[in-house]
Amino acid sequence: MNLLYFAWVRQKVGKSEETLELPDGVSTVRALAQHLSMLGPGYAEAFADPGRLRTAVNQEHATFDTTIGPDDEVAFFPPVTGG
Amino acid sequence: MSATIKIQGEDFDIAAELAALAKGGADIGAVATFTGHVRADDGLTALVLEHYPAMTAREIARHVAEAQARWPLRGVTILHRVGRLAPGERIVLVAVAASHRGAAFEACQFLMDYLKVHAPFWKQEERGGVARWVEAKPADADAAARWRQ
């Protein structure tokens, strides 16, 4: 799957994009975020408080309960601040 | 209805955009516009905007479709800049054409309120050498939620 990070999530993780094999047992955005939080100190910091994060699946706003599959694009970012 | 959605680094020419929008037809009697500028808040030296390119235009197009379903619109133009902007520069243009002013005014505000809380842009403020991510404001969420009541 394709993962994208924006704003301070990108800075903490240290990259804007990566591909990942969907880990066994991971079927929701929440479980994916938990998995990512264990990949290193930057990830741990970025995913420490899911309440501060928003997500999109396949370029549409989603929630942490949204179901995901191996070919999805999942993005993590803070609440948007455009306009 | 014509819809123009552009995400770009460079500035835009409001007069040219409005002229293009008004070309949509003889039944256009009202064009409402909103332009957002970079405020020089508390010694701000620059705003740096990033976005989610694969999602941004799609997300804004969904809001335009919703506006079109709610009001009889003849055309919409939404331009949003990204990259580094100095105080006083334009950031965003929302222009709505309709037969009558009520629909134009309301749809313009609706689109701006929705863009603020749904379109995937993020702003970083720079003051001197210090950068800080802008936090989302509850008032913006309230402004968008108002349209659901």
């969420």: which residue's tokens? B141
CA–CA distance, B106 with B79 (Å, rounded to integer): 18
Residue A28 within any structural domain of the chain: yes
End-to-end CA distance of chain A: 30
Interchain proximity A7–B54, CB inside 8 Å: no
Whole-number pLDDT of residue B1: 85
**What are the CA-CA distances from residue B105 to residues A76, B61, B67, B118 (Å)?**
34, 19, 12, 20
Greatest extent of chain B over all pairs of C-alpha atoms, in Å: 52
Q: What is the mean pLDDT of chain B?
A: 96
Residue A73 within any structural domain of the chain: yes
**What's the whole-model pTM score?**
0.95
Q: What is the CATH number of the domain that holds A18?
A: 3.10.20.30
Write the pLDDT tens digit of every residue in A21-46: 999 999 999 999 999 999 999 999 99
Residue A83 within any structural domain of the chain: no
The minimum CA-CA distance between B32 and chain A, rounded to whole Å, is 17
Whole-number pLDDT of residue B8: 98
Interchain proximity B92–A82, CB inside 8 Å: yes
C-alpha closest to that of A9 among A82, A83, A81, A75: A75
Q: What is the CATH number of the domain that holds B142?
A: 3.90.1170.40
Write the pLDDT tens digit of every residue in B5-26: 999 999 999 999 999 999 978 9
Whether residue A52 has pLDDT greater than 90: yes
Interchain proximity A7–B118, CB inside 8 Å: no
Whole-number pLDDT of residue B106: 98
